[in-house]
Amino acid sequence: MMIIEKIHNKYIYWKHKLEERKNLNAFCKGHQVKLYNWSRPFPQDLWLINFIEQRGLLKDKPKRKIGLYSIFAPYWLHHFDGCNTRIFVERENLHKPSMQRWLHRFLDDDSIQLSLGFDRLNHPHYMRLPFWVMWSVFSPTATYDEIKKQVQLMNSLENHSYKDRKFCTFVCSHDDIGRKKMHDQLNAIGQVDCPGKLFHNNDDLKEMYNDDKLELLKHYRFNLTPENSNYKDYVTEKLFEAISSGTVPIYHGSDNQPEFDVLNQDAIIFVEMGKENTKAIKLISDLNANEKKYMDFACQPRFVQGAEDVIWGYYVDLEKKLKEIIADF
């Protein structure tokens, strides 16, 4: 019986993987750069593809085939991809025990020419490119001036308001440790709208904003935005989406020192999942009850001086690295 069950489970697994591959092929249709070992793709997953293609890095190289790899299928499948250049994208916190087998696995593997991740490593086949850079806030085709203008806009007073915003939203799918406690603490102050799968009580994200999270966040004073795990320098898109939308982020992650060379730490309310967070909860309650106090806090610059230079530096370094590996093959 156990053997039959194992065979059945394997069948279900590979059926699912073949369906994923089919969906990825459709998603990447018309592109020289394609996704492999990816989970369900979102429009934002085109960021790196568009960076490579729309910046002309494959100009006059019509036969070059680049594969972007993640961790959601066995890597040996690369033997069948037909790619001559491969990039490993560390989208998750690979320091988690369940994912450590992928941690910096390809730094000295000739089948992968470049690894992108959030750790601050010095290795010829690695570049630090945190996940938040490659999502919905900064365009893959942005110029330095456009990034500078965007940072200025997110720092401006016009990006914030009080009267036309509801209390708090929490957009999440999974119940990681401590999230329920934090949700309940905030819910004692005012209603926390949850349009995601976790604690679902609101359909505005889909019905009013067509699944545009940034538009949803613009209608709230606060956004509870913890990472799925806490590890130094692991910062995803969540915090930057809140900042871009002018809502005050309630954040836990990156040892509560996220991107210190980019973000003003004083403009973020830090909490710890599973803890009482007495001071943070009192601050949130006070800000929510007083428009002037809220606006004083919310209107602090979200970015430190020179943040645009750091962000643009990722673009410059990435283009340089990509040109090197494309030229080598």
Q: Which tens digits make up the pLDDT trace of 213-248?
A: 999 999 999 999 999 999 999 999 999 999 999 999
Segment 257-267 mean pLDDT? 98
Say if pTM beats, i.e. exceeds, 0.95.
no
- On the 0-12 / 13-18 / 19+ scale of CB atoms within 10 A, 318 is buried
What are the residues whose beta carbons fall under 8 Å from the beta carbon of 29, sequence distance 6 or more? none
- C-beta pairs of 61-64 under 8 Å, 24+ apart in sequence: 61/326, 62/32, 64/32, 64/326, 64/329
The CA distance from 297 to 281, in Å, is 15
Instruction: Say whether domain 161-298 belongs to CATH 3.40.50.11660.
Output: yes
The CA distance from 315 to 318, in Å, is 5
- State yes or no: pLDDT of 328 exceeds 80: no
Give start and end residues of each alpha helix (H) in 190-236: 204-207, 213-217
Both tokens of 161, joined, read 């308001």
**Cβ distance 132 to 310 under 8 Å?**
no
Q: What is the pLDDT of residues 278-287, one digit of tens each?
A: 999 999 999 9
What does the domain layout of the chain look like in residue ranges? 2-139+310-328, 161-298
Both tokens of 69, joined, read 């790899």
* Sign of the dihedral defined by the CA atoms of residues 161, 163, 165, 167, in that order: positive
- State yes or no: pLDDT of 146 exceeds 80: yes
